[in-house]
Amino acid sequence: MSTHAPVRGTRSARVPSFPYDDTDLSRFRELQQLAYACAQRVGDWLGPGVTERQAAARLRRELVAEGVRDFFHIPFAWFGDRTAFRNFRTPLQFFAGGRPLAEGMPYVLDCAPVADGYTADIGYAGKLGDNPVWDRIALDLGEYRELIVREVRARRTLAEVYAAVDALIARHGYDNRHRVYPGRVIGHQVTRTTSRGPAGVNVLGFGVRTLQTLGRELVGERLHGRSPLWADGRSSRHAPTPGLWAVEPHIAFRDVGLKFEELLVVTEDDAYWLDDDLPHVRRLKPGAAR
């Protein structure tokens, strides 16, 4: 668990102050831990012949059993070359399909539960059996995690951090696959949802309350020359706005894709990952099982 506390500097007239207190951060952290725990249980349950739809449905049931009633977006599951988003052409291809899991295949589970307005958005990568390519990429993920927080602390713009991640991907000989996400995003801002739309109702995979909140954020941030979406275009040519950002570098080599997704805390003059006790972080520790 991160031991950092929010660092509050002199407030700039153009930069909003950090909007959360320690209680808020604890609630976000608890929900993120819950999401990862549910994803891990589904990963342990997976076996040959299980389809993406079955895995996504199982992940949703695990979250609902823990009291989750609403979602930023519905759970996703990708198996085999779909972890690398090969031949993805339309947003509909992101939804879980009928691909069955087989020995040696990689998989990615992605879920975004909402509880009492707090949101977590996580990505959990794994493999069924042996996959040396997966092992190699998994060990490199730590470099991306370190790079992102270092660049954000240096107050680089979102687009500049994106470019730094791209450069590291190229040095490793991998492919950038987050560019396939709608809007080419590597991340997005997460806020405490205050919308009063119906909980649990989804439109195109996103919760109604999510869409209401995102709409207000897009308008509000654009009025101040900022964006809640983290990509590589003109709208991302500003430093990350203080708050919480769900960051998801998605990397692939040929037909094997991996990602992590977790919450990054950005204050007026500091940045740190909300929690260091997560599966992909523990995996990097000496002696950890892969």
Provide the percentage of residues in the chain whose pLDDT is more than 90.
78
Per the domain annotation, does 3 fall within a domain?
no
Query: 34, 111 in Cβ contact below 8 A?
Result: no
Phi/psi of residue 21, nearest 5 degrees: -105, 180
Q: Give the 3-state secondary structure of residue 111.
A: strand
Per the domain annotation, does 55 fall within a domain?
yes
Per the domain annotation, does 204 fall within a domain?
yes
Per the domain annotation, does 44 fall within a domain?
yes
pTM of the model: 0.87
pLDDT for 5: 44
Among 112, 62, 76, CA closest to 263: 112
Phi/psi of residue 139, nearest 5 degrees: -70, -25
| Domains of the chain: total | 1
DSSP element (H, E) containing 61? helix 52-65
10-residue averages of pLDDT along the chain (290 residues): 41 73 98 98 98 98 96 95 95 95 98 94 98 97 97 98 98 98 95 67 52 52 75 95 97 98 97 97 73
Residue with structure tokens 């203080």? Answer: 242
pLDDT for 107: 98
CATH number at residue 27: 3.90.230.10
Per the domain annotation, does 31 fall within a domain?
yes
Amino acid making up residue 43 = G
Question: What DSSP string describes 190-252?
Answer: E------S-TT-EETTEEHHHHHHHHHHHHHHHHTT--SEE-SSGGG-SPPPSEEEEE--EEE
Cα 196 from chain centre = 24
Mean pLDDT computed over every residue of the chain: 88
Query: 228, 218 in Cβ contact below 8 A?
Result: yes
DSSP state of 81: G
Per the domain annotation, does 89 fall within a domain?
yes
Per the domain annotation, does 235 fall within a domain?
yes
Find the domain containing 178 and state its range.
Answer: 22-282
Cα 163 from chain centre = 18
Strand partners, 243: 266
Question: What DSSP string describes 1-51?
Answer: ---------PPPSSSPPP---HHHHHHHHHHHHHHHHHHHHHHHH--TT-B
What whole-number distance in Å separates Cα of residue 69 and Cα of residue 47?
27
Per the domain annotation, does 2 fall within a domain?
no
